[in-house]
């Protein structure tokens, strides 16, 4: 199976020392998720964090949050010390933090149908997840076009084959040829059938969330689903300070089913939040805590993730910008805030406003991913494929980003400071002025010392010229095509597969097509 | 003057708050250098650093360093507790650290001929410097070709006009049409004449170092040069563990003249050092301390910089790779080691093995620059223009990197946590569900809240399409051409200019042309 071969090779090369490599050689697949061996980057001092929390608490107590069109959510808050005023809810200081501290799981397992692919979410663990939401796709040959189910399946397959993606994602792209009220069934099925990695569910209507839960019960068994997290779900808040009934009712469905909500303030600075970073942080921390606490009122201990999405704004175009230093700084601060309340964190991954996988795309993507990883992020949504501010899923961008994820995985392993790492024998053997290329220490460590991302060119100019002067984009184009050519689907129990297909047919038959 | 206009505009947009912006508006030029307001990223714990220093001390005491063909350097060590064995010198533990602690300036000023451009090197300050050394140039129109003096002058002009480059650099590219033994005169003159930023001198032979010092005396006055640093100079060590006589004699010229040496272990892991990171760190710390201490034996208090150059290796090609996680980790550790001994630090900047300014080039450049900046780097060589592992200076790459430097400058400013930053009035004014676009807080902060790098595209797809679907490279091509078109040279005292030209003529007349 292509993914296993790749995985073994990655581990072999990416390990930290000969000892490590031997250990790894015993493993036949890439690790299901990452565990960091380096510290967090703590940008702010404790008293600076206190100041953010203080202003966040003031927003909650003085301005409050609105739950629009969702009396059930309001009813849940009525059982607490919160002050209800129509649809507006104000929260006394400390109340949300108590609910969170008493109930939220700091680390939980999201189960995959292949148990070897199950991931730990929270603590020192990191999970890389494909991009989510684009209505368009782009590749070097076909250019930019509306996404289809075929594209969706292609990306599920590519994510399945990519050792550095630990998760199949959710709406990798919108299969726009399928009616809006039915496409969630095809998307969830594609994740279940063409991959065996964990995946995300539908959140665009409560009944679609319920369909997702029902399909999970078919795949995993109803009892298992009730007791274990098998699906993660992106709940975007209508920032500023509003939960609309679509999102809050999807949240209620998933929390009640013991499934994970990623409660995400969605702040484009200057539009859905104030234009300054500190204010956006205070707002995000207010909104996130409300959503997180709400999941715990519905079902104490339900898995939940603290979401983060904050972008800056262009003075030139008024459009959001990505990979800029202001969001980078905010990511680091959000990481500290999430750790303070002990909730697993989601940050954006390889984000960019660029239309194509060019210099800008890489710069912005790296500048988004690095602070996310340094912040201690646990769930990296949009880790691969994002282009054009999330409007486009790029084929070449996907495999280029995936290589980059392998680099971050190595980064999180830190530096080996054991005796082999220091190689004192090598200095004695080689001595001043000679090279280390053939010495015993080099021979023993050569294959595991440095990662070698498949798409990285380090050829001589002449080799590169003779090979057709291919830039990263052209190399990436060849790579994703070759990957799809060699795809072999994971096995699935035929009875469960049939049951899933039957569920989907019945649900589709029960509804007229809807296109918006 | 184009550079001033750009500078003012950068400050205006890049400031942290309205208050800050007002302060900045009073300034007519960009800051001459950066001062960080955020902390360092300390990757290793103190006991882990101890372990590196321990192994580094063992290399110095057990293996030692060779000074080849330089009896004057050996004579300097004879006056210390070092043990001399032929050309090999072994250093007892603690000796170098004492010399360094007692003599090295932790922060010094490199003076520019325009005092407003003088830079602080060391402490919390950072200076971005163009790439150094490429024999080739590349641009979108002309492709890859040998560099010329015209190219050299172009890059001096571009660096002069770029607010985010604080330094004119040194051998920005090799003017290969000029004899090897004469070209340093033209290069140093170009820095002096076409820019008024600080610059670097020649190190390829001791007499060329002396020419540089003499030209500095013409420009700045001999007494001033004797008492102040006016030129920085790149002294690469012949790693592993060798100082050759060319480099050590150039070092002696500059240190004796009270000018700055950047003492740089040059380690391609697995070739000029062991293949593991910890060993390379121990070796680098050994080699750097020897060179740093040597400058202080020659002239106590002479300005000196701890250099760092470490690259990983490709398993596929055997060539060095850049922007990989292993060097990133090593940069962070080197920053801690340099701070421990209180010596200003140089790290590599925007490094890449890529042939063109593509996705790989940006990824690798960012992944080199971020850990450098996070490590507390003071002098960032190769901050703009590097391609192809240093063989090529790229025109488009240069302006793309320059934009990125502006982002890092903003990053180093951190987050404003004053009352304006928290914008509590804005929440009261706007309330849940409304947008902040027109509110008073946004209006007051809009122009200064987020940086807007000139080359970053955030247009809609339709605008971008109508504009010709220009990628970052194409936009960069237009930009550097427009910059050169609008270049206006800084004024220079005609007498000094004439004296410089006379010095150069006489020196050139005194030598036959040499081509290697």
The tens digit of pLDDT for each residue in A413-460 reads 999 999 999 999 999 999 999 999 989 999 999 999 999 899 999 999
Specify which residues A119 forms β-bridges with.
Answer: A110
Check B360 against A271: CB less than 8 A apart.
Answer: no
Within a domain: B57: no
CB–CB of B382/B350 below 8 Å? yes
Within a domain: B422: no
Residue A424's pLDDT is 96
Q: CB atoms < 10 A from the CB of B145, how many?
A: 13
Task: Specify the DSSP class assigned to residue B262.
Answer: E
Contacts of B8 (CB under 8 A, 6+ apart): B25, B27, B28, B29, B30
Q: Residue for token digits 């206006």? A: B488
Q: Are A146 and A231 in a shared domain?
A: yes
Is A61 within 8 Å of chain B by CB?
Answer: no
Residue A516's pLDDT is 82
Q: Are A270 and A199 in a shared domain?
A: yes
Give the residue numbers spanning the domain of A16: 2-30+417-449
Per-residue tokens: B509: 């007349």
Distance CA A200, CA A217 (A): 14
A170-193 mean pLDDT? 98
Q: Are A292 and A405 in a shared domain?
A: yes
Q: Which residues of B touch A427 (CB under 8 A)?
A: 59, 62-63, 240-241, 274, 279, 283
Residue B30's pLDDT is 73
Q: Are A272 and A343 in a shared domain?
A: yes
Beta-carbon contacts below 8 Å between A and B: 406
Number of domains into which chain B is organized:
1
Within a domain: A88: no
Distance CA A498, CA A462 (A): 55
Q: Are A364 and A444 in a shared domain?
A: no
Q: Of the residues A411, A437, A469, which one is the last residue of a structural domain?
A: A411
CB–CB of B172/B180 below 8 Å? no
B65-70 mean pLDDT? 96
Q: Which residues of A touch B376 (CB under 8 A)?
A: none
| b/e sequence B306-345, b meaning 16+ C-beta within 10 Å | bbbbbbbbbbebebbbbbbbbbbbbbbbbbbbbbebbbbb
SS3 call for B160 = helix
For the stretch B105-132, pLDDT in tens is: 999 999 999 999 999 999 999 999 999 9
For residue A455, what is the enclosing H or E element? none
Q: Which of A41, A407, A420 comes nearest B41 by C-beta?
A: A41
| pLDDT band of B25, cuts 50, 70, 90 | very low
| pLDDT band of A316, cuts 50, 70, 90 | confident
Q: Are A275 and A155 in a shared domain?
A: yes
Within a domain: A377: yes
| pLDDT band of A30, cuts 50, 70, 90 | confident
Residue B516's pLDDT is 82
Q: Is pLDDT of B23 > 90?
A: no
Q: Which residues, numbered 260 to 279 in chain A, qualify as contacts with chain B under a Cβ-Cβ cut-off of 8 Å?
A: 269-279
Within a domain: B158: yes
Distance CA B365, CA B362 (A): 5
Pick from A61, A104, A120: nearest CA to A298: A104
Contacts of A277 (CB under 8 A, 6+ apart): A269, A326, A329, A330, A333, B415, B416, B421, B449
Contacts of B474 (CB under 8 A, 6+ apart): B140, B468
Pick from B92, B163, B123: nearest CA to B338: B123
B299-325 mean pLDDT? 94
Euclidean distance between the first and the last CA atom of chain B, given in angstroms as a whole number: 40
For the stretch B74-103, pLDDT in tens is: 999 999 999 999 999 999 999 999 999 999
Within a domain: A73: no
| pLDDT band of A28, cuts 50, 70, 90 | very low
Percent of chain B with pLDDT over 90: 91
A290-312 mean pLDDT? 97
Q: Of the residues A394, A426, A449, which one is the last residue of a structural domain?
A: A449
Within a domain: A228: yes
Q: Can you tell me the ipTM of this complex?
A: 0.94
For the stretch B435-460, pLDDT in tens is: 999 899 999 999 999 998 999 999 99
Q: Is pLDDT of A341 > 90?
A: yes
Q: Alpha carbon B155 to chain centroid distance? A: 15
SS3 call for A160 = helix
| pLDDT band of B15, cuts 50, 70, 90 | very low
Per-residue tokens: A68: 């629009």
For the stretch B279-297, pLDDT in tens is: 999 999 999 999 999 999 9
Q: CB atoms < 10 A from the CB of B412, how many?
A: 18
Is A99 within 8 Å of chain B by CB?
Answer: no
Q: Tell me, what CATH number does B286's domain have? A: 3.20.20.480
Q: Are A347 and A444 in a shared domain?
A: no
Q: Which residues, numbered 295 to 314 in chain B, qualify as contacts with chain A under a Cβ-Cβ cut-off of 8 Å?
A: 312-314
Q: Are A130 and A181 in a shared domain?
A: yes
Q: Which residue of A has its CA nearest to B239?
A: A433
Average per-residue pLDDT for chain B: 94
The verdict on whether omega for the bond into residue B240 sits within 30 degrees of 0, i.e. cis, is: yes
Q: Are A13 and A112 in a shared domain?
A: no
Q: Which of A276, A424, A463 comes nearest B416 by C-beta?
A: A276
Per-residue tokens: B254: 């500059």
Q: Is pLDDT of B28 > 60?
A: no
Residue B348's pLDDT is 85
Q: Is pLDDT of A380 > 80?
A: yes
Q: Are A310 and A422 in a shared domain?
A: no
For the stretch A113-123, pLDDT in tens is: 999 999 999 99
Q: Which residues of B touch A242 (CB under 8 A)?
A: 432-433
Pick from B237, B235, B227: nearest CA to B251: B235
Q: Is pLDDT of B483 > 70?
A: yes
Sheet architecture: strand order including A346-348: A34-35, A125-128, A379-381, A346-348
Within a domain: B386: yes
Q: Name the pairing type of β-strands B320-321 and B83-85.
A: unpaired
Count CA within 13 A, CB hemisphere, residue A377.
29
């Amino acid at each position: 199976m292509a993914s296993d071969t790749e995985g073994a090779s990655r581990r072999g090369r990416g390990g930290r020392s000969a000892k490590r490599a031997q250990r790894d050689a015993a493993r036949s697949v890439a690790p299901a998720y990452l565990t960091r061996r380096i510290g967090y980057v703590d940008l702010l001092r404790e008293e600076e964090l206190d100041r953010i929390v203080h202003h966040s608490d003031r927003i909650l107590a003085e301005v409050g949050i609105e739950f629009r069109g969702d009396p059930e959510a309001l009813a849940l808050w009525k059982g607490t010390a919160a002050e209800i005023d129509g649809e507006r809810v104000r929260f006394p200081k400390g109340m949300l933090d108590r609910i969170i501290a008493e109930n939220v799981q700091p680390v939980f397992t999201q189960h995959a149908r292949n148990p070897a692919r199950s991931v730990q979410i929270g603590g020192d663990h990191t999970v890389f997840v494909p991009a989510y939401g684009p209505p368009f796709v782009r590749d070097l040959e076909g250019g930019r076009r509306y996404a289809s189910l075929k594209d969706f399946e292609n990306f599920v397959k590519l994510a399945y084959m990519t050792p550095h993606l630990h998760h199949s994602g959710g709406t990798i792209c919108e299969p726009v040829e399928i009616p809006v009220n039915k496409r969630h069934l095809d998307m969830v099925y594609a994740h279940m059938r063409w991959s065996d990695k964990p995946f995300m569910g539908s959140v665009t209507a409560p009944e679609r969330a319920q369909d997702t839960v029902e399909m999970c019960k078919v795949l995993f068994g109803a009892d298992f689903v009730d007791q274990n997290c098998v699906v993660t779900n992106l709940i975007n808040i209508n920032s500023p300070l509003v939960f609309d009934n679509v999102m809050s009712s999807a949240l209620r469905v998933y929390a009640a089913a013991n499934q994970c909500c990623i409660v995400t303030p969605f702040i484009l600075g200057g539009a859905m939040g104030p234009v300054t970073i500190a204010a956006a942080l205070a707002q995000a921390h207010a909104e996130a805590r409300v959503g997180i606490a709400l999941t715990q009122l519905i079902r104490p201990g339900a898995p939940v993730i603290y979401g983060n999405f904050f972008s800056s704004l262009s003075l030139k175009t008024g459009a959001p910008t990505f990979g800029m230093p202001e969001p980078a700084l905010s990511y680091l601060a959000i990481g500290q805030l999430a750790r303070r309340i002990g909730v697993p964190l989601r940050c954006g991954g390889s984000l960019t406003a660029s239309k194509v996988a060019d210099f800008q795309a890489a710069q912005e993507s790296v500048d988004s991913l690095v602070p996310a990883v340094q912040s201690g992020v646990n769930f990296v949504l949009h880790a691969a494929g994002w282009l054009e501010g999330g409007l486009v899923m790029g084929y070449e961008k996907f495999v280029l980003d995936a290589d980059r994820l392998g680099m971050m995985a190595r980064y999180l392993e830190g530096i080996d400071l054991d005796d082999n790492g220091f190689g004192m024998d090598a200095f004695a053997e080689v001595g001043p002025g000679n090279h280390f290329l053939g010495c015993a220490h080099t021979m023993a460590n050569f294959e595991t010392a440095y990662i070698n991302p498949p798409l990285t060119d380090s050829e001589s100019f002449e080799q590169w010229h003779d090979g057709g002067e291919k830039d990263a984009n052209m190399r990436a184009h060849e790579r994703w095509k070759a990957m799809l050519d060699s795809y072999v689907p994971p096995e699935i129990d035929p009875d469960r597969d049939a049951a899933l297909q039957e569920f989907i047919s019945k649900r589709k038959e029960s509804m007229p097509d809807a296109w918006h």
